Structure 1
Amino acid sequence: MASLYPLEALNRILRHARNAPFYRAHLPVTPVQSWEDFKRLPFSTKEDLRRHSPEGLVCVPRQQLLQYHETSATTGAAVSVWYSEKDLKEIRSRLGNWGVGFNRDDRVLIKFPYALSSIAHFVQAAAHHKGACVIAADAGTAVTPLRTVVELMRKLQVTVLATMSLQAVVVAEAAEMAGFDPRRDFPHLRAICCGGEPLTPYRRQLLHDIWGVPVYDNYGMTETGPQAMDCPERRLHPFQDAVWMEVLDDRFEHEVAPGETGNLVVTSLTPRATPMIRYMTGDRVRLLNQPCACGQSITLQHRGRAADILRVQGKPFDLWDLQSIVFQLPSRRFWKAAAEPEGLRFIVEHERNEFPLQPALLERLRQAHGVGLRVDLVPRGTLYNRNEPVSFGRPGKPVYICDAAELAALVDGSQASSARRSAGG
């Protein structure tokens, strides 16, 4: 993003941030005089946030704190994030203008986690802001297993499903297991709203193929709140007046060239209760300067977590690259990938009884990506057990990347199960 934000306004944010014990010790006391000064400010890391949770990053009086959330703690101790009434009002207003166009005729079923996570609460507030009715299904519990979610969607004539993109696939599978056709038997559904994981164009198309409705994305995290959302054209635009985005090289020394993929570092531009100053998100993104019919000029591509990149024969493969390969296979819903010395290896669940995988297709993919490629086709249920409706409906944070040994064990286990079934065991 071009350095057009007023330095005076940025210094106001830095002064505000210094109200927090962490930033008071972390940031210099002198104002920044140029963007070069800004780029010399120290980074903030997730470990910094962990060490100073729960209240070391709070910049407002205790009485102004209105809502508390935590990160999922999948990679370490949870990070505490607080929101003031002003923060929540801003987020509600921004998300209320999501391209999906929430309105008073909508019934929005929210299948995001409510407990300590933030996204379900933010989507609910945005829907209410536009007069829409909300069904708070949560991420999947004993109270709302998948069969109940499917029943709610039908009997309540749900118009918008809000969930992680993988969960939208899971709900569709549950509907099919109950004898329904997602494209035909949910006539009131008009859109799916996603968040919580990268929505690649391949997953977006898969969801449209399954459900027959447009799919809208938003990008953010508990630490920062929403940072970007889809316009009506279904292009993801950052909130340029609310968050400053730097896209840096792998050494975190320089910004990458316009349009190149790099590591996202964000700075809050509004006086949040817990602002982020040069926060290293761990995400890989591209910022594209492309005029959009909605009037915006910058589009964000969230390519996935830096920690999830697979490096094969010297080439990096992020989530977009991996899903571009899976999307061309006859089955595309449930998969995992690993890097092996010989190349990329995928495990993909069957979607139908017959799964024709042509050698010519694999060869074309090998040639296109310049690495070895192996695909193991495994029975339905290898990755997600359909006989456990609560656990199937609540897989947690989507995990697509594993190590080679884990992938081999999954394949070996599925082959052993198939052999037992063939032998009548």
Structure 2
Amino acid sequence: MASLYPLEAINLALQHARNSPFYRNHLPSTRIQSWEDFKRLPFLKKEDLRQQSPEGLVCVARQEVLQYHETSATTGEPVSVWYSGESLARIHTHLAEWGVGFNEEDRVLIRFPYALSSIAHFVQAAVHRKRACVIAADTGTPITPLPRVVQLMHRLRVSVLATLSLQAVVLAEAAEMAGLDTRRDFPHLRAICCGGEPLTPYRRQLIHEIWGVPVYDNYGMTETGPQAMDCAQHGLHPWGDFWMEVLDDRLEQEVAPGETGNLVVTSLTREATPMIRYVTGDRVRLLTQPCACGQSTTLQVRGRADDILWVQGKPFDLWELQAIVSKLPSRRFWKAAAEPRRLRFIVEKERDEDRIQPGLLEQLRRDHGVQVWVDLIPKGILYDRNEPIAFGRPGKPSYTCSSAELAALVDASRPPRPEGMAR
């Protein structure tokens, strides 16, 4: 369907969506005739999905629905998403062609949450399509704490690790705590596949340096399923199953080609719960450039709009925050906050001797246009290594907080002062 002329594909998607109680009232009853008509279609917001859950958006017969998932509900009530057999087959077929090149010799350890989340199930089915072996190491259970996952990777000669990018770093830390060298003691590991959070080039490089293997990305969300994945050349290419709009902050106009904006997606395939002009909350760029794989469009995911930090009128998204962290002596675990006149980071030390070198903060100020301050803090302030279950289950990655929360973390990192001595 997505290969049809886009307006025709969209009209077919709208016709299908009107099978649901919600969309019958939400969408016009007639075909759209132009792109101006399309741009007048109402947006679909997260709150709409919450109000219509569990079944208000379902567009297919109950017998067609094979799988149910929910969002993590970290920012409110969960959103219900249903998948038909047709949708699942399409997703599994796409993901099986991920640039990592799953094959029957692979043992793939999946370190995503399984309960109600979708990505672990999608990756598992894609791996099975290539007749590779799955090792399910769910993040959401105490049965597979970090030490056991490290042991599984080492003992079972895992060749591909599929996980959140932050989990790839956490697992490396756990391996080192067990006396293992991540680049030497996992000789069968050939690749890491990431998903579930934006993978910036700076985090990709960090993971590659730690583990010594290539890192592949995919982009999606529970509401839509996967929308893009890396080719063999590490280009994140959108699937043709969605129409992607990149709109300005008022959601009124499309941004200029190659500029950053807010991603709004429309399902072009016959989904059980289609998304029509869904405001994803993600900031992205769509770049038109030839890739050796033959694709011509690349997606750059810059982070959540809600997580942008503003300092003196300048926005800092996850992409730019990680660009700053990439210049620091320690880069694994950090948080950032906006203060009135500066951008402030706390970063756990990786080595006792790590220091901020003279001139680095001034160079960061010149490069990024605002004053930057960095506190290097001891290990254990952001992640308690003595609690392997909690350390291994950090939940949805969060890299920003309020200035008050950041100050409290800095205070917690300081040694206690003798009684009677003021700070």
The residue identity in structure 2 corresponding to 1:119 is I
CA distance in 1, matches of 2:375, 2:245: 39
CA distance in 2, matches of 1:388, 1:310: 30
- 1:23-422 counterparts in 2 under 5 A? 23-239=23-239, 241-416=240-415
Residue deviations 1:78-114, cap 9 Å, x none? 0000000000000000000000000000000000000
CA distance in 2, matches of 1:229, 1:299: 10
The residue identity in structure 2 corresponding to 1:165 is S
SS in structure 1 of the partner of residue 359 of structure 2: helix
The answer as to 2:8 corresponding to 1:8 is: yes
The residue identity in structure 2 corresponding to 1:312 is V
CA distance in 2, matches of 1:66, 1:339: 45
Shift of 1:140: 4.9
CA distance in 2, matches of 1:396, 1:147: 18
* Structure 2 stretches lacking a partner, 5+ long: 419-423
Shift of 1:6: 3.2
CA distance in 1, matches of 2:21, 2:62: 14
CA distance in 1, matches of 2:141, 2:354: 33
SS in structure 2 of the partner of residue 375 of structure 1: strand
The residue identity in structure 1 corresponding to 2:97 is N
CA distance in 2, matches of 1:394, 1:361: 33
CA distance in 2, matches of 1:352, 1:404: 26
The residue identity in structure 1 corresponding to 2:274 is P
CA distance in 1, matches of 2:369, 2:251: 28
Shift of 1:36: 1.1
CA distance in 1, matches of 2:330, 2:377: 11
Are 1:140 and 1:393, in contact at CA under 8 Å, matched by a contact in 2?
Answer: no
Using the size of structure 1 for normalisation, the TM-score is 0.97
The residue identity in structure 2 corresponding to 1:236 is L
The residue identity in structure 1 corresponding to 2:53 is S
CA distance in 1, matches of 2:345, 2:5: 44
Shift of 1:7: 1.9
Shift of 1:186: 0.2
CA distance in 2, matches of 1:12, 1:163: 35
CA distance in 2, matches of 1:348, 1:292: 36
Shift of 1:191: 0.2
Are 2:115 and 2:140, in contact at CA under 8 Å, matched by a contact in 1?
Answer: no
CA distance in 1, matches of 2:352, 2:410: 18
Corresponding residue of 1:423: none
SS in structure 1 of the partner of residue 88 of structure 2: helix
CA distance in 2, matches of 1:309, 1:6: 32
The residue identity in structure 2 corresponding to 1:296 is Q
Are 1:111 and 1:140, in contact at CA under 8 Å, matched by a contact in 2?
Answer: no
SS in structure 2 of the partner of residue 223 of structure 1: coil
Are 2:20 and 2:56, in contact at CA under 8 Å, matched by a contact in 1?
Answer: yes
SS in structure 2 of the partner of residue 100 of structure 1: coil
* Structure 1 stretches lacking a partner, 5+ long: 421-425
The residue identity in structure 2 corresponding to 1:309 is I
The residue identity in structure 1 corresponding to 2:392 is G
Shift of 1:76: 0.4
Are 1:127 and 1:134, in contact at CA under 8 Å, matched by a contact in 2?
Answer: yes
Aligned residues: 417
Using the size of structure 2 for normalisation, the TM-score is 0.97
Are 1:140 and 1:146, in contact at CA under 8 Å, matched by a contact in 2?
Answer: no
Identical-residue share of aligned pairs (%): 75
